[in-house]
Chain A
Amino acid sequence: MAKLLLILIAGLPTAARAQPSGEDAARIADIGWVLYVGATAIFVGVAALIALSMFGPAPLRHRLSRPALIVGAGIVFPVVALTALLVYVMKPSPTAAREAAYAARIEVTGELWWWRVRYLDAQGGLLFETANEIRIPAGKPVQFLLKSGNVIHSFWIPELGGKLDMIPGRVNKMRALARTPGTFRGHCAEYCGAQHAQMRFDVQAVDAAAFDAWVQAQRQPARAAEPALRQGERLFIQACAQCHTVRGTAAGGMLGPDLTHVGSRPALAAGILPNNVGAMGGWIAGSQQIKPGNAMPSFDRWPGDDLRAVARYLESLK
């Protein structure tokens, strides 16, 4: 029995064993424990009652066969237990007073099938735009403004807290607080079409100094390309500028993700590919094989040298 439990626990996915990092996630995990323990206890109780009602001693079975059981276990107990549960859950959380001072305000827009991320200042002006990657300061509250211009998506970082839908025509606001630094996975959690399964993103909580440094770096335009990379830059602007933006160059397209600092992201293509020259080249040449139906065509007629040049150029945009 113990071996079975060990096997079961060993099989649990990594995230289930990890400690929730977000403030909301921690509160939910606490509620979760109350629910699991309570549910297990009630289940065991009901199972015991069934067993006793069928196989128990006659006097006990006689007592169980009266309508009093129905009233006691079927009405009184659930009403008491559920009222207690409601009171416990509805208690306002300590952080119910939402501060006005967020350490970051991040507008995330669900696209098909990636995430447009825009960092805003306190007045709502744009600081910079990036894609599929979010960094937040650890230990401080941030606000997400969730939007969509197409179908309904849902923004979910399991280790930080609950999810909130991104609905066209609405801006849903979500508060998040990572108690400690760490890396977290995010998923789209509302079926949004063909590649809903491949719409993920990465979140990093870093200390305040690192966060400020990152924000400053992101606000800079792209470095001028070194001579070895100029061929790649030229090809990129020729073929990709209609859809993509690299600030500091002529590329200003808004249809696709901003690529100004793409080289420093943890992953590519909305959290599904590693970020290196090979994967970048593979994506450019075969995006329709990797994520069929997405808006970027496969550049599969390019000669290998051109692909490598563009990939190396993009990887240099750190």
Chain B
Amino acid sequence: MTPPTTPPPLPNALPRPADEFAQLERAWKRPTGWRSLTVVNNTSIGLLYIGTALLFFILAGVLGLMMRTQLAAPDSNLIGHTLYNQLFTMHGTVMMFLFAVPAVEAVAVLLLPNMLGARDLPFPRLSAYAYWAYAIGGLVFFCSIFVGLAPDGGWFMYPPLTSAQYSPAVNADLWLLGIGFIEISAIAGAIELAVGILRTRAPGMTLDKIPVFAWVMLVFCGMVIVAFPAVIVATTLLELERAFDMPFFITGRGGDPLLWQHLFWFFGHPEVYIIFLPAAGMVSMMIPAMTGTPLVGYRLVVLAVISTGFLSFGLWVHHMFATGIPQLSLSFASAASMAVSVPTAIQIFAWIATLAAAVRLRPIKTPMLYILGFFFVFVIGGLTGVMVAVIPFDLQAHDTYFVVAHLHYVLFGGMVFPLFAAFYYWTPFISKRPLSERLGRWGFWLMFVGFNVAFFPMHFTGLAGMPRRVYTYAESQGLGPLNLLSTVGAYLIAAGVLVFLIDLARNFRPTIDNNAGNVWRAGTLEWLPSGSYGLRSVPAVTSREPLWDQPGLAQQVDDGQHYLPNAPAGLRTTLVTSALEARPDYVLPLPGPAWSPLLAAVGTAGFFLLLTFKLLPLAAAFGVLAVVALWRWLWDADTGPDYPPVDIGGGLRLPMMCSGSASHASWAMVLLLIVCTSIFGSLMFSYLFLWTTNPQAWPDSGDLPSPVRPMLSAMMLLAAAALALAAGRMMTQNRQRALRGCVAGAALLLAAAPALDLVTHWQAGLRPQASAYTAATYAVAGLQAFFGGLAVVMAAFTVARSIAGRLRPTRRAALDATRAMLLYAVAQGLIALALLHAFTRLTG
């Protein structure tokens, strides 16, 4: 019998100094009035984010209702083909890009810091920027349907239909540029969430103890970082083809429509797991809380989530079973598509086991109802997914309403139901009152019955021969009765959503200081008392459900007895901890409200949208606004005096800043460079793919220009690398002048090398429009030139900071980021030169 151990003393003793709490509240005070637009607190941004995503869900849902109304009867004249084709394109595009991914990202922004014991996300202005760019860009994009300019090529936008020849109007460009930059918003959010999950946790919260939702969001971030660049490259190439006649996808000139499909689906398949996994993570949080018992098989679930993330990258070819590509790749994709259901099955049975272990179950409250609905609908969707993974079966079901049924069962069942469960579950965290149980039940049953009535018949209509994306169908096909049934179901879903909105209007009263509290008696940290400052003090945790296993934790945290109960130097701060063991590393000062994220978002959105309409001077003006706002924003970052170390309690004195590879900023930079690698990788794939399908477009080695100039470019790149490395050493020695010279020199060389390469190609007579080979060559060289330009801007910024005295050995984030980008750009440039010159020579 082990003698009872006395619990270790709490980090900070009572009573707390008189002014400490007031100082904390002052530092974290939210802006009011019209200055509210400058808010950066994650709870405010998170709430705005969720609200906007919900708005897009409703808007896209209305589009779906209109589609169903047109399809209720055969040969209906209610909605003509022009509008209908825009409706289904926008329904899919808005649901996938403007609702699903932002909604789960928004829930993470709202909840994760509190769940992890952090006060805010590590880059609050970045999440504000990501939100505003998404909101402004998304709303303008949606409004295109009111003026008949909405894209109509399907959410997947296959060329040649979406090439300039078959879609000459600006509608397709709106999709390409509008959605392209909303991806930037999603990637920014993903980088920030990943750094937050890895580096800003409560002390003692080892990776083995983080909430499952945090694990899931970590996998989500990794998937976004690798998958989204593929669609950015695809949209850029198609836009280049439309605007500048560079024939990437035009067969007669060496291009290949299948290139688009590979790039798009390499993004598109992980996209659906990017949408599903966070919802599964939410379910993994809600079931334990509502049943009063920890999740059974936590480690298996984490393993399953990680495996799903990796496996999902191997499945994209299953969208291309009917394209006629070789049987071997089809078989691999088929087997992999079946295999991915195994990790999902692991999660499902972990949830069932947890239900079986439940300590409290009845009465079944609304979140649990939605979770049961999720089980019913998602399992059916998963089973039809295995069916379409079987190639012969898919060759019948592909591009029919069977797939429409499948995708809605997995997406609506697998994401929307958990999301509504999450609304009912987490509302007490952010509202004075929880939502109504009675209205919750009504809403659930209407949505659940409506969903099945709407979508189950589609399995039959699909197999009976109703293709997708049709604005009408013939009476003689006999599809009328089932389509009518589907339409009735759609209206029932709408009624359910309406009931939910009524519930929101009546009961949702946003607050953070005065929330309804831990009504579910859950065990995780977001249920601690909190305010605009997050938690009063950062708890030391010893288990996965701290509120269950550490009695009195809530009171201790709120009294300020845990770590960092104050605002050192009057600043907003949070604790940065190590990635694996969550040992406190340093105290991170965080920025307060600012105009620059909003202005940068307006500038970015304006730039891309005006570019679509070819209003170039106005677009340039907005671009300048974005750059200026960004400059101002970064100018304020990593500044201030060298603060003395902070006593956070428990005998720990931590520095108030960090530079070098251990800093959260350099981790973010690494993730950004992975994004860049994925962009370059997708572009290299495109080049090599076009070479395999149309080798005749490639020149013979005898026709290539002399290798002297490419060698010169390579020399310039190597010199740039040497200068970049030297700049790092100059920084450590605080030799400002030498530092400026090295940075400027490296950047100029990085810009000159691709410039020389482009000139070389031009003087050799290559023109981008000539063939897919020349287009791909200019695309690769052009990407390098873009990075050269980026290097120059970053170098100018760094030099300016150096001149202004804002760069020193303890405040060197700007230099470190620039140096990392310079070195990456050198590596990318060398590989690009090898591809364009050495590879072509070897295979010519």
Q: Which residues of A contact B (CB under 8 A)?
A: 11-16, 24-25, 27-28, 31-32, 35, 39, 42-43, 46-47, 49-50, 52-54, 56, 61-67, 69-71, 73-75, 77-79, 82, 85-86, 89-90, 150-152, 154, 156, 158, 161-165, 167-170, 172-173, 185, 187-198, 200, 272, 292-293
Q: What residues of chain A lie closer than 8 Å to B331, measured between beta carbons?
A: 90
B345 within 8 A of A: yes
Shortest CB distance B167–A (Å): 8
Q: What residues of chain A lie closer than 8 Å to B81, measured between beta carbons?
A: 194-195, 197, 292-293
Contact across chains for A194 and B379 when beta carbons are under 8 A apart: no
Given A16-B463, A43-B380, are A150 and B338 also a contact pair (CB < 8 Å)?
no
Known: A69-B356, A188-B467, A292-B80. 9 other contacts (CB 8 A): A28-B392, A39-B380, A50-B355, A50-B372, A50-B375, A53-B355, A62-B356, A89-B390, A191-B153
Contact across chains for A74 and B346 when beta carbons are under 8 A apart: yes
How far, in whole Å, are A57 and B569 apart by their CA atoms in the complex? 60
- Among candidates B251, B376, B481, B485, residue contacting A47 with C-beta atoms closer than 8 Å: B376
How far, in whole Å, are A77 and B341 apart by their CA atoms in the complex? 11
Shortest CB distance A35–B (Å): 5
Query: B469-484: contact bitstring with A at CB < 8 Å (1 yes, 0 no)?
Result: 1111110011101100
Given A70-B296, A190-B399, are A85 and B465 also a contact pair (CB < 8 Å)?
no
Contact across chains for A167 and B258 when beta carbons are under 8 A apart: yes
Shortest CB distance A212–B (Å): 30
Interface secondary structure of B, over-half rule: helix
B627 within 8 A of A: no
Closest A residue by C-beta to B354: A65
B400 within 8 A of A: yes
B12 within 8 A of A: no
Which residues of B from 493 to 531 have beta carbons under 8 Å from A?
none
Contact across chains for B256 and A169 when beta carbons are under 8 A apart: yes
Contact across chains for B322 and A163 when beta carbons are under 8 A apart: yes
Contact across chains for A61 and B356 when beta carbons are under 8 A apart: yes
Contact across chains for B481 and A11 when beta carbons are under 8 A apart: yes
Contact across chains for B161 and A193 when beta carbons are under 8 A apart: yes
Shortest CB distance B469–A (Å): 4
Closest A residue by C-beta to B358: A54
How far, in whole Å, are A70 and B348 apart by their CA atoms in the complex? 8
Interchain Cβ contacts under 8 Å between A and B, 30 examples: A11-B481, A14-B464, A15-B478, A16-B460, A27-B392, A35-B386, A42-B383, A43-B379, A43-B380, A46-B375, A46-B379, A50-B355, A53-B355, A53-B356, A67-B296, A70-B349, A73-B345, A74-B347, A74-B348, A74-B350, A77-B345, A154-B322, A162-B322, A191-B153, A191-B158, A191-B161, A191-B468, A195-B81, A197-B472, A200-B474
Contact across chains for A191 and B154 when beta carbons are under 8 A apart: yes
- Among candidates A28, A46, A70, A185, residue contacting B477 with C-beta atoms closer than 8 Å: A185
B297 within 8 A of A: yes
- Among candidates B80, B396, B469, residue contacting A28 with C-beta atoms closer than 8 Å: B396
Q: What residues of chain A lie closer than 8 Å to B375, measured between beta carbons?
A: 46, 50
Closest B residue by C-beta to A49: B352
* Total interface residues in chain B, CB < 8 Å: 82
Closest B residue by C-beta to A25: B396
How far, in whole Å, are A194 and B345 apart by their CA atoms in the complex? 41
Q: What residues of chain A lie closer than 8 Å to B481, measured between beta carbons?
A: 11
B391 within 8 A of A: yes
B643 within 8 A of A: no
Shortest CB distance A25–B (Å): 7
Q: What residues of chain B lie closer than 8 Å to A162, measured between beta carbons?
A: 322, 392, 394-396, 398
Closest B residue by C-beta to A72: B349
How far, in whole Å, are A24 and B393 apart by their CA atoms in the complex? 10
Given A39-B386, A85-B338, are A163 and B398 also a contact pair (CB < 8 Å)?
yes
Q: What residues of chain B lie closer than 8 Å to A75, measured between beta carbons?
A: 342, 345-346
Closest A residue by C-beta to B390: A89
How far, in whole Å, are A188 and B400 apart by their CA atoms in the complex? 10
Contact across chains for A192 and B346 when beta carbons are under 8 A apart: no
Contact across chains for A35 and B395 when beta carbons are under 8 A apart: no
Given A46-B348, A78-B342, are A12 and B355 also a contact pair (CB < 8 Å)?
no
B654 within 8 A of A: no
Q: What residues of chain A lie closer than 8 Å to B470, measured between beta carbons?
A: 196-197
How far, in whole Å, are A46 and B344 apart by their CA atoms in the complex? 13
Contact across chains for A89 and B391 when beta carbons are under 8 A apart: yes
Contact across chains for A189 and B82 when beta carbons are under 8 A apart: no
Q: What residues of chain B lie closer than 8 Å to A61, measured between beta carbons?
A: 356-358
Given A27-B392, A90-B331, are A189 and B467 also a contact pair (CB < 8 Å)?
yes
B170 within 8 A of A: no
B257 within 8 A of A: yes
How far, in whole Å, are A79 and B344 apart by their CA atoms in the complex? 12
B384 within 8 A of A: yes
B461 within 8 A of A: yes
Shortest CB distance A46–B (Å): 5
Shortest CB distance A288–B (Å): 12
How far, in whole Å, are A24 and B339 apart by their CA atoms in the complex? 26
Contact across chains for A54 and B464 when beta carbons are under 8 A apart: no
The 5 residue pairs across chains A and B that have the minimum distance between CB atoms: A162-B395, A169-B251, A65-B357, A197-B470, A64-B356
Q: What residues of chain A lie closer than 8 Å to B673, measured between beta carbons?
A: none
How far, in whole Å, are A254 and B350 apart by their CA atoms in the complex? 63
Contact across chains for A64 and B353 when beta carbons are under 8 A apart: yes
How far, in whole Å, are A65 and B341 apart by their CA atoms in the complex? 22
Contact across chains for A82 and B399 when beta carbons are under 8 A apart: no
Q: What residues of chain B lie closer than 8 Å to A73, measured between beta carbons?
A: 345, 349, 352
Closest A residue by C-beta to B347: A74
Given A65-B356, A152-B160, A196-B469, are A35 and B322 also a contact pair (CB < 8 Å)?
no
How far, in whole Å, are A75 and B341 apart by their CA atoms in the complex? 10
Shortest CB distance B537–A (Å): 36
Q: Which of B252, B297, B358, B390 has the most chain A CB atoms closer than 10 A to its own CB?
A: B390
Given A13-B461, A15-B465, A190-B399, are A32 and B348 also a contact pair (CB < 8 Å)?
no
Contact across chains for B393 and A31 when beta carbons are under 8 A apart: yes
How far, in whole Å, are A170 and B335 apart by their CA atoms in the complex? 26
B387 within 8 A of A: yes
Contact across chains for B352 and A194 when beta carbons are under 8 A apart: no
Shortest CB distance B370–A (Å): 14
Q: What residues of chain A lie closer than 8 Å to B399, measured between beta carbons?
A: 154, 156, 163, 189-191
Q: What residues of chain A lie closer than 8 Å to B160, measured between beta carbons?
A: 150-152, 168
How far, in whole Å, are A13 and B393 apart by their CA atoms in the complex? 19
Contact across chains for B296 and A65 when beta carbons are under 8 A apart: yes
Q: What residues of chain B lie closer than 8 Å to A32, measured between beta carbons?
A: 387, 393, 396, 463
Q: What residues of chain A lie closer than 8 Å to B323, measured between beta carbons?
A: 165, 167, 172
B9 within 8 A of A: no
Given A50-B352, A191-B161, are A152 and B85 also a contact pair (CB < 8 Å)?
no
Given A11-B482, A61-B356, A69-B352, are A164 and B376 also a contact pair (CB < 8 Å)?
no
Contact across chains for B352 and A64 when beta carbons are under 8 A apart: yes
How far, in whole Å, are A47 and B377 apart by their CA atoms in the complex? 11
Shortest CB distance A26–B (Å): 11
Closest A residue by C-beta to B484: A11
How far, in whole Å, are A189 and B463 apart by their CA atoms in the complex? 12
Contact across chains for A151 and B166 when beta carbons are under 8 A apart: yes
Shortest CB distance B200–A (Å): 31
Q: What residues of chain B lie closer than 8 Å to A71, measured between beta carbons?
A: 300
Q: What residues of chain B lie closer than 8 Å to A187, measured between beta carbons?
A: 465, 467
How far, in whole Å, are A78 and B342 apart by their CA atoms in the complex? 6
Contact across chains for A165 and B461 when beta carbons are under 8 A apart: no
How far, in whole Å, are A46 and B372 apart by their CA atoms in the complex? 12
B361 within 8 A of A: yes
